[in-house]
Amino acid sequence: MDAILVRGGGPLSGSIPIAGAKNASLALMPATLLSEEPLTLINAPRLSDIRTMTQLLQSLGAEITTLQEGRVISMSCHGDINTRAEYDIVRKMRASNLVLGPLLAREGYAEVSLPGGCAIGARPMDIHTDGLEKMGASIDLRDGYLYAKAAGGRLKGAVIDFPFASVGATENIMMAATLAKGTTVINNAAREPEIVDLADCLRRMGAQIEGDGTPSITIQGVDRLGAATHPVVTDRIELGTYMLAPAICGGEVELLGGRIDLIGAFCEKLDLAGIDVTETEKGLKVKRRGDRVKAVDVTTEPFPGFPTDLQAQMMALLCTAEGTSTLEEKIFENRFMHAPELIRMGAKVDVHGGKAIVTGVDKLKGAPVMATDLRASVSLILAGMAAEGETKVSRVYHLDRGYEHVVAKLRGVGADIERIKDE
């Protein structure tokens, strides 16, 4: 098993290219199930989660070719479809449940294992299944599988009111509704950029969708979808993560492909902490204004609020801020598992349920730490880059799910970091 070795150093300088969004790609790829014609994604990230989704779609009958070292994914689902998504693949990644809606829409039937994923709290499927049942599907849970069947072989349009703005459920219902008979309205829909990106792709395929990016999305079902080529939106979580590198270490870094509109609430908190973010022709440039950042309070919320997927990285920054910060996690439970590891590095963090109180210290100290999930992995790397001495981050297989070439990208701006075998 690999580990990441980080030695605290000086300020950073240079540029980091930001990949296409992992979370967008994992929703875009199942859209190929909706059409017999090719779907090509460009600007795709090169991640283990993408390989897992590729494996899943191939098991369902999709033909998939990767080009340009994985940056282009060409998919076609023109043959017979296997409607059973097996546990052995689905268990590796929660986003695997996004094949349920497309399979049900195209074939009128689906057998999909309940998903797995990293341990940051429960993400129940009932909001997905309740929406599909309103569209005329009957769904049974047996032996860990969802058995779904559309009445009459085709889903029907419906008005669906979500109890909360679930990204995955919005994506699943939106895809299912593209081939349903009639009109579907999703109220309290998620508004994330990945939702808008999926809607853009589906429109390129011939879907009729309005209102994406707002709390109410309307989809008029069509009889068939066609071919499309679609550029994946910039990964706002990778963007925010690397924006924190110069904020923590000092220096100035340009994030190629970065856009403020993708992470406006995050940028507002950086400004309050004493970090300048400026737009350039190529992306965003980030620079810390003083020697230390200032404490800020953060509450995670659905988009356009502060992203839960940047909470762990923000905590790493605030560990050396002047003053005391409060981080409140409102999206997932169990998402402060990185706090004990930061404490091993000298941080002062006090967790009470969904809140963490962080009192800044002058300097963190290198230590052996263990990653508990994807975002925790990179938060510990960021902390290690600013710490005195050497930090070894173990169990970094989580990292490969969401960050491509993290060592090379950080080395490119001056970080002292390497990937090693963990003994």
Q: Cis bond leading into 17, ω under 30°?
A: no
Q: pLDDT value at position 118?
A: 46
Judgement on whether residues 62 and 197 belong to the same structural domain of the protein:
yes
Which range of residues forms the domain containing residue 42? 22-231
Q: pLDDT value at position 121?
A: 45
Prediction pTM value: 0.94
Instruction: Give me the mean pLDDT over the 163-173 stretch.
Output: 96
Average pLDDT, the chain: 95
346 — alpha (psi -120 to 50), left (phi > 0) or beta?
Answer: left
Distance separating alpha carbons of residues 83 and 59, to the nearest angstrom? 9
Distance separating alpha carbons of residues 410 and 417, to the nearest angstrom? 7
Judgement on whether residues 181 and 329 belong to the same structural domain of the protein:
no
Judgement on whether residues 148 and 254 belong to the same structural domain of the protein:
no
* Binding-site residue ranges for phosphoenolpyruvate: 22-23
Judgement on whether residues 206 and 305 belong to the same structural domain of the protein:
no
Judgement on whether residues 188 and 145 belong to the same structural domain of the protein:
yes
Q: What is the CATH number of the domain that holds 261?
A: 3.65.10.10
Q: Is the pLDDT of residue 348 over 80?
A: yes
Judgement on whether residues 185 and 153 belong to the same structural domain of the protein:
yes
Judgement on whether residues 191 and 68 belong to the same structural domain of the protein:
yes
Instruction: Give me the mean pLDDT over the 7-17 stretch.
Output: 95
Judgement on whether residues 196 and 91 belong to the same structural domain of the protein:
yes
Paired tokens of 263? 């992470």
Q: At a CB cut-off of 8 Å and minimum separation 6, what does 338 contact?
A: 312, 315, 371, 372, 373, 375, 376, 379, 380
DSSP-derived secondary structure for 396-417: GGGGGGT-TTHHHHHHTTT-EE
Active site residues: 118
Give the model confidence (pLDDT) of 188-242 as tens digits: 999 999 999 999 999 999 999 999 999 999 999 999 999 999 999 999 999 999 9
Give the model confidence (pLDDT) of 363-400 as tens digits: 999 999 999 888 889 999 999 998 999 999 999 988 98
Q: Could you say which of 231, 263, 295 is where a domain stops?
A: 231
Judgement on whether residues 132 and 154 belong to the same structural domain of the protein:
yes
Instruction: Give me the mean pLDDT over the 269-279 stretch.
Output: 98
Structural domain count, the chain: 2
Give the model confidence (pLDDT) of 116-148 as tens digits: 544 434 457 899 999 999 999 999 999 999 999
pLDDT-above-90 percentage for the chain: 89
Give the model confidence (pLDDT) of 314-326 as tens digits: 999 999 999 999 9
Judgement on whether residues 223 and 287 belong to the same structural domain of the protein:
no
Q: Could you say which of 204, 231, 258 is where a domain stops?
A: 231
Neighbouring C-beta atoms of residue 276, cutoff 10 Å: 14
Paired tokens of 237? 């979580």
Judgement on whether residues 114 and 246 belong to the same structural domain of the protein:
no
Q: Is the pLDDT of residue 98 over 90?
A: yes
* Binding-site residue ranges for UDP-N-acetyl-alpha-D-glucosamine: 94, 309, 331
Q: Could you say which of 209, 231, 253 is where a domain stops?
A: 231
Judgement on whether residues 129 and 55 belong to the same structural domain of the protein:
yes
Q: At a CB cut-off of 8 Å and minimum separation 6, what does 342 contact?
A: 315, 316, 319, 349, 364, 369, 379, 380, 383
What torsion do the CA atoms of 190, 105, 75, 193 make, to the nearest 10 degrees? -10
Distance separating alpha carbons of residues 70 and 72, to the nearest angstrom? 5
